[in-house]
Amino acid sequence: MKSLFTAQLCLSLAFVAAAAERPDVVFADFEGKDYGAWTTEGTAFGSGPARGTLPGQMSVEGFRGKGLVNSFNGGDNSTGRLTSPPFKIERGFITFLIGGGGYAGETCMNLIVDGKVVRTATGPNTVSGGSERLAAAAWDVGEFSGRAAAIEIVDERKGGWGHINADHIVQSDIRGDIALADPPARVARDVRREVIVEKKLLHFPVKNGAKKRTVTLSVDGAQVRRFDIELADSDADWWAPLDVTAWAGKTLSVVADVLPESSRALDSLRQSDTLLGSENLYREPLRPQLQFSAKRGWLNDPNGLAFYNGEYHLFFQHNPYGWGWGNMHWGHATSHDLVHWQEHGDVLYPDAMGAMFSGSAVVDWKNTSGFGSNGRPPLVLIYTAAGNPTTQCLAYSTDGRTFTKFSGNPVVKQITGGNRDPKVFWHEPTKKWVLVLYVGLPNPDGARDSKGRPAPKHTIHFFTSINLRDWSLASIADGGSGDDRFLYECPDFFELPVDGDASGKKWVLTAANSDYAIGTFDGTKFTPETPRLPGHRGRGFYAAQTFSDTPDGRRIQIGWGQMPSPGMPFNQLQMLPCELRLRQTPDGARLAWQPVQELGLLRSKSWKQDALKLTQGGVNPLADVRGELLELRMDFQPATDSEVILTVRGVEIRYTAATQEISAAGFRAPAPLQGGRQRLVIFTDRTSFSVFASDGLTYMPFPMITKPEELGVELKVKGGATVAHHLEAHNLKSIWSRVREAELKSRLQ
């Protein structure tokens, strides 16, 4: 039996060697500026091969060279077809790389012989959370040798994964799914390891920039988790933890879809009760010290901000298995003071309905939903399940820690593939819940954006409900003709008094970029009274949301700080919590931002001075102020020709009285004097600055990695004398000090 096997193996190897003598025929490599003799229909494929990832798309990987077929041109709602010229089948296999949507007949590549589809292939993805990596595949076409054929690449699908990627189509006598996959290493597929759960956490080794692998976890034959991860085949950059306490004592089956045969990734899986590599947790060189960031992995939009059971709850978009965007979960942290945060782990995981995209949270005080129990009102999360279709769903909790997804999900069905980010609140005058939803609709004018792509019509849909479960469309608002930014993504909607006057309240509708409009709302329809107004004046601040159910009625906002953290096991941050107010100005009511008063809890060493005259060439009154984490406040009356220049940790912040403008880090914004005076507030962190001017009417956040050696502050004036009515500076403590103290105490015990 052994000799027969050996003979068969030798025969196979001889066949491969003989076949290898006949060179491959590269039919299409898609490296040109256009498709050559291929013909196109529709808009999905553009005018020529894509150069990798297209706008709005996850990172495309695994293609050869610089170009590929990518039908994401215009997004997932574009359609089309790409057809090759006729050719003769001259080899036993046609090999290719393919990715994207996995819908037979809709997102596919077909081989046509005698006008019929004789072979077909699709990408791997039908639900959110997949990868844009192309994989090697092959058709056995020996039976059609010598016959004429054509290849068509089809995109007839709209919505999630409504696109197809393809590259490097080759005629070969060797199966290309083996020859092309992960060269030059040999690969193994569906690599499995069984793990008996004995500890709280199961850690996966991560190598930033490695090829993404799809990992599935099953217990008792049922899949419990699925995610993409850049597994480290050897040494890990960091370890991604998965909480496995729910399966204590059970056998967890871990399967990676494909790994090099030499990979040690699954052999490296480690169990522990604490986070691996946590010796330096919250002390890492680029860890924000004043603002929240996740222990591990990627973070983006704040979600579900609410005050419940005596705590501020911050949920957030989280990829626990990678340094970049993907695998969207809802992470969770709580605070008693908006300053010191404790991370609890993820509460919403991707499921068959898709990845867990952004949303909001409310306390259902009257238990209209029926999710409460024993007289305890539920905390209800409203989120987008970004699958196909993309829908709006609910989850709830009565303890603020464990959450159950509603069995009747979805509660709002798909309108278009571009509906997302539900904001929900209780409208007391009408005794109804209101859901505010971004919806991108087809643009009847055929408008295109600055890059020539079809531009959706950005709208906000308003729904109402009496129980959070059953919703009815009440009205639709849009940004008006030609407006390609306002009303785009992550809407927030709330009511504020103007200058504290409760009888003069107005409604504010904000967008992801923090632009906003002010108007009235009757419970069903928002009527704007202003055009689109600019929000923050800096950079790297996006998708902000405000807390519901705050005990003192304040409107407190947190935004996503888009600041990469290279070399760290975490990425991105949440910006400082700010209190929002409406202030009356000569142009009407306008939003103002101020850092919440609770940040004063972080002050350690302070320096203050009243009534100081500043002149050009004078001494630096802040020469004694040094620190990494700083809060600076200055109230001054400038001469009409003066410039007041604060250089904080090497970053120049300049106020020009003649134009009443403030500038910093390449940004410039109007900052009008208030009663002839200017009041500045500045916070510095390791990777960001927050600058407030004109009593908060001007808010300028921006990312900035400061140099550790730059710790000083300089204040100088150019031009006429400036009267500083008040100066103060504070060294600040880290928000993580309490976490570290508690951790040290637990270790000592």
Q: How far apart are CA 711 and CA 647, in angstroms?
A: 10
Residue among 148, 133, 252, 275 nearest 200 (CA) = 275
Could you give the dihedral angle defined by the CA atoms of residues 479, 481, 482 and 485, in that order, rounded to the nearest 10 degrees?
A: 10
Q: Are 686 and 663 in contact (CB under 8 A)?
A: no
Q: Are 227 and 297 in contact (CB under 8 A)?
A: no
Residue among 361, 362, 422 nearest 386 (CA) = 422
pLDDT tens track for 420-463: 999 999 999 999 999 999 998 887 776 665 555 567 788 999 99
* DSSP-assigned beta bridge partners for residue 346: none
Which segment, 6-20, 126-140, 679-693, is predicted with the most confidence on average? 679-693
Q: Give 284's pLDDT tier (boundaries 50, 70, 90).
A: very high
Q: How far apart are CA 728 and CA 230, in angstroms?
A: 47
Q: Look at residue 327 and tell me whether its pLDDT is greater than 80.
A: yes
Average pLDDT, the chain: 91
Average pLDDT over residues 286-299: 97
Percentage of the chain beyond pLDDT 90 is 79
pLDDT at res. 13? 37
Q: Which segment of 8-12, 176-180, 465-469, 703-707 scores lowest on mean pLDDT?
A: 8-12
Q: Look at residue 606 and tell me whether its pLDDT is greater than 60.
A: yes
Q: Which segment of 2-6, 86-90, 107-111, 529-533 scores lowest on mean pLDDT?
A: 2-6
Q: Give 51's pLDDT tier (boundaries 50, 70, 90).
A: very high
pLDDT at res. 538? 95
Q: Are 694 and 660 in contact (CB under 8 A)?
A: no
Q: Look at residue 189 and tell me whether its pLDDT is greater than 90.
A: no
DSSP at 747: H
Average pLDDT over residues 679-692: 97
Q: How far apart are CA 104 and CA 193, in angstroms?
A: 31
Q: Strand pairing of 297-308 and 570-571?
A: parallel
CA distances from 163 to 420, 439, 628 (A): 20, 20, 48
pLDDT at res. 9? 34
pLDDT at res. 453? 59
Tell me the HSE value of 60 on the side-chain side, using a 13 A CA sphere.
31
* H-state helical runs in 126-189: 176-179
Q: Look at residue 748 and tell me whether its pLDDT is greater than 50.
A: no
Q: Look at residue 351 and tell me whether its pLDDT is greater than 50.
A: yes
Q: Look at residue 178 and tell me whether its pLDDT is greater than 60.
A: no
Count CB atoms within 10 A of the CB of residue 182.
18
Average pLDDT over residues 318-326: 94
- Report pTM: 0.80
CA distances from 375 to 57, 425, 426, 465, 583 (A): 46, 21, 19, 22, 40
Q: How far apart are CA 77 and CA 74, in angstroms?
A: 7
pLDDT tens track for 460-510: 999 999 999 999 999 999 865 444 445 688 999 999 999 999 888 999 999
Q: Look at residue 187 and tell me whether its pLDDT is greater than 70.
A: yes
Q: How far apart are CA 408 and CA 386, in angstroms?
A: 17
* DSSP-assigned beta bridge partners for residue 632: 682, 729
Q: How far apart are CA 389 and CA 110, in angstroms?
A: 25
Count CB atoms within 10 A of the CB of residue 247.
17
Higher pLDDT pick, 418 / 523? 523
Q: Is 611 exposed, middle or buried (0-12, 13-18, 19+ CB in 10 A)?
A: exposed
Q: Are 684 and 648 in contact (CB under 8 A)?
A: yes
Average pLDDT over residues 506-527: 96
Q: Are 470 and 368 in contact (CB under 8 A)?
A: no
Q: How far apart are CA 166 and CA 622, in angstroms?
A: 61
Q: Strand pairing of 603-614 and 588-595?
A: unpaired
pLDDT at res. 127? 67
Helix (H) or strand (E) holding 189: strand 187-196
pLDDT at res. 247? 97
pLDDT at res. 138? 87
CA angle 467, 469, 470 (to 5 degrees): 90
Tell me the HSE value of 618 on the side-chain side, using a 13 A CA sphere.
19
Average pLDDT over residues 283-304: 97
Give all domains of the chain, ordered by start, each with its CATH number.
Answer: 20-179 (2.60.120.260), 187-272 (2.60.120), 287-595 (2.115.10.20), 600-732 (2.60.120.560)
The DSSP string of 62-85 is S-SSS-BEETTTT-TT--EEEEPP
Residue among 335, 385, 390 nearest 359 (CA) = 385
Residues in the chain: 749
CA distances from 633 to 189, 692, 700 (A): 60, 10, 15
pLDDT at res. 3? 38
Q: Give 177's pLDDT tier (boundaries 50, 70, 90).
A: low
φ and ψ at 536, to 5 degrees? -65, 160
Q: Are 613 and 619 in contact (CB under 8 A)?
A: no
Average pLDDT over residues 514-531: 95
pLDDT at res. 74? 86
Q: How far apart are CA 139 and CA 94, in angstroms?
A: 5
Q: Look at residue 740 and tell me whether its pLDDT is greater than 80.
A: no
Q: How far apart are CA 378 and CA 384, in angstroms?
A: 19
Q: Look at residue 175 and tell me whether its pLDDT is greater than 70.
A: no
pLDDT at res. 742? 63
Q: Are 299 and 543 in contact (CB under 8 A)?
A: no
Q: Look at residue 725 and tell me whether its pLDDT is greater than 60.
A: yes
Average pLDDT over residues 289-300: 97
φ and ψ at 700, to 5 degrees? -125, 90
Q: Give 159's pLDDT tier (boundaries 50, 70, 90).
A: confident
What does the longest C-alpha to C-alpha distance in the chain come to? 100
Bond from prior residue into 389 cis (ω within 30 degrees of 0)? yes
pLDDT at res. 481? 43
Q: How far apart are CA 391 and CA 44, in angstroms?
A: 24
Could you give the dihedral angle defined by the CA atoms of residues 524, 528, 532 and 533, in that order, rounded to the nearest 10 degrees?
A: -110
φ and ψ at 739, to 5 degrees? -65, -45
Q: How far apart are CA 354 and CA 350, in angstroms?
A: 6
pLDDT at res. 8? 36
Q: Give 325's pLDDT tier (boundaries 50, 70, 90).
A: very high
Q: Look at residue 143 and tell me whether its pLDDT is greater than 50.
A: yes
By annotation, the residues acting in catalysis are 301
Q: Is 349 left (phi over 0), alpha (psi -120 to 50) or beta?
A: beta
pLDDT at res. 465? 98
